[in-house]
Chain A
Amino acid sequence: MFATRAQPVASVLSAGVQTRNMATLREIQLRLNSIKNIGKITKSMKMIASTKVSKAQRAMETARSYGATSAAVYKNANTVPLETESNIWVVSSSDRGLCGGIHSSVAKATRKLIAEDTAPVAGVVVLGDKAKNQMTRSNRGDIKLSFNQIGKAIPTFAEASAAADTILTSDVKFDTATIIYNKFQSAIAYEATPIKNYSIEAFKASENFTAYELDEEVLENYNEFLFANNLYWALVEGHASEMSAKRNAMENATKNAGEMVDRLTMTYNRTRQAAITSELVDIITGASAL
C-alpha cells in the first residue's frame, strides 16, 4: 500500500526516470561515472592533440614551401594535362579515427573529382586505412594499392619516397597523378584539395617549356622527385589538418560530456530527493494512521 502511494510522487519529481527509485539511482550513478571517465579520456586526448598540432603545423610550413618550390616549375611553364592521358588518384589520409570528418572529406572529394574528370581512370591508391574503408565502398574495383601505418607521427620524407617508389614501380600504368589531401586552412577549417603531378609529355608540351634548358634524363628523374615531393607535402599537411581536427573533435566531446554530467547530476540529486521525500511521506502517514 505504501509502495503504490509513493509511486506518483516519485514519477512527478523525476520526470522520465523509472519509478524504481533505488535501481534508478544506481543506474544514474553508473552512467554518471562512465561519462565522467569518458570526459577525462577525451580531455587528455585533446591535450595530446593540441601539443601535436603545433609541431605538425611547423612541419607543415616547411613541407608546404618545399612542395611549392617544386610546383613552381609547372606554374612557370604553364603546364596543362593532355586530353588522352590516364590519371591515377592518390588519396592521402591516415589510419587514425576520432578526428571528425577528415577522412570522409578526402574520400568524398575524390569521388566527386573522379565523376567530373573526363580522363580515363588508371586506378586509385589509398594512403591510410580509414580512407581505404570509405573508398572500397564506392570504388572497390579501382583500388590498386593501399598503404597503412600512416599518421602515428609526422610523416617523413623517407616514408613519402618509399610510397612514391612503390607506386611508380608497381604494375599500375598511369600518366598523370592527382593527390587529394586535406589542405590546412585554419585551426578549425580544412578542405580536400588536389595536387596535380603531370606527365613528362604534358610538361614537354606546355607553353613555356622551351624556355628551360635540360637533359632528357634529368627530366625523368625530376618528375619522379616531384611526385615524392608532392606526396610528402600532402602527407604532412594532411597530418596537420588531422591533428587540428582531432583537437576540435575532442574539445567538443569533452564539452558534451561535461553537459551530460551536469544534467545527470541534476537528475541524480532530484531522484535522491524524491526518494527521501517519499520515505518521509510513508513514515508520516504511517505515524498519523496510528
Chain B
Amino acid sequence: MNFLARSVRAVRPVRMVRSYATEAAATGLRLTFAVPHQTLYKDASVAQVNIAAVSGDMGILASHVPSIEQLRPGVVEIIENAATKKFFVSGGFATMNPDSSLNINAIEAFPVEDFSAETVRHNLAEAQRVAASGATEEEKLAAKIEVEVLESLQAAINAK
C-alpha cells in the first residue's frame, strides 16, 4: 500500500489538477531545494513535486510518507500553484520529513530549457567515445557516468 502511495508515476494531468485543489489547500507541501552554490526554493509552498529517484519516479504531495530517496540524474518537476518548473539535476538526495517539508539537496540543478541540445549531443558523442576506448579503467567509468547523465538529459530535453 505504501509502495503504491509513494511511487505514483508521473500522474496524469487530470489527477494533478485534483490533487492540488484538495491536498495543497489543507497544509501544503513546503519545499526547500538547494544546490551548494544556490538556494532555489527556501521553505516555499508548492503543490506537488515529481522526482526521479533511484527506486523509481515518484510524485510527492503534502503529507507524503517520510522517506529518504537518492536521486538519479533526471528531471525534478515542481508544480507550483500556477506554473510548473522543470529542473535537471545531476544527482542528490530528497528527504521527506514528517512535518510535510521536503528537502532536496542536489549537486547541480538547472532549468531544463537552459540546456543547449546541440552541446548535449556533442558531449554525449565525446563521452561515448571515451567510454568505449578510454585509457584507464577509471577514465572509462567516469565516461560511463557522463554518458548516463547526458542520455537522461537528452531525454529530458526531447520530452519538453
A residues touching B (Cβ–Cβ < 8 Å)? 59, 61-63, 65-66, 69-70, 72-73, 76, 156-157, 160, 208, 211-215, 218-219, 221-222, 225, 229, 232
Set A66, A156, A211, A218: member contacting B98, Cβ < 8 A: A211
Name B10-44 residues within 8 Å CB distance of A: 32, 34-39, 42
A65 and B70 contacting across the interface, CB-CB below 8 Å: no
A212 and B70 contacting across the interface, CB-CB below 8 Å: no
Query: With a CB–CB cut-off of 8 A, which chain A residues contact B101?
Result: 72
Task: Give the distance in Å from the alpha carbon of A212 to the alpha carbon of B68 in the complex.
Answer: 7
B32 and A65 contacting across the interface, CB-CB below 8 Å: yes
Query: With a CB–CB cut-off of 8 A, which chain A residues contact B70?
Result: 218, 221-222
Main secondary structure of the interface of A (DSSP, over half): helix
B residues touching A (Cβ–Cβ < 8 Å)? 2, 6, 32, 34-39, 42, 54-55, 65-70, 92-93, 95, 97-99, 101, 103-105, 107
Task: Give the distance in Å from the alpha carbon of A65 to the alpha carbon of B101 in the complex.
Answer: 14
B67 and A76 contacting across the interface, CB-CB below 8 Å: no
Task: Give the distance in Å from the alpha carbon of A90 to the alpha carbon of B32 in the complex.
Answer: 28
A66 and B65 contacting across the interface, CB-CB below 8 Å: no
Task: Give the distance in Å from the alpha carbon of A208 to the alpha carbon of B37 in the complex.
Answer: 31
A214-B68, A221-B70 known; A69-B34 Cβ under 8 A: yes
Set B2, B6, B39, B103: member contacting A70, Cβ < 8 A: B103
Query: With a CB–CB cut-off of 8 A, which chain A residues contact B69?
Result: 214, 218
For residue B55, give the distance in angstroms from its CB to the closest CB of chain A.
7
Which of B32, B35, B105: most chain A CB closer than 10 A? B105
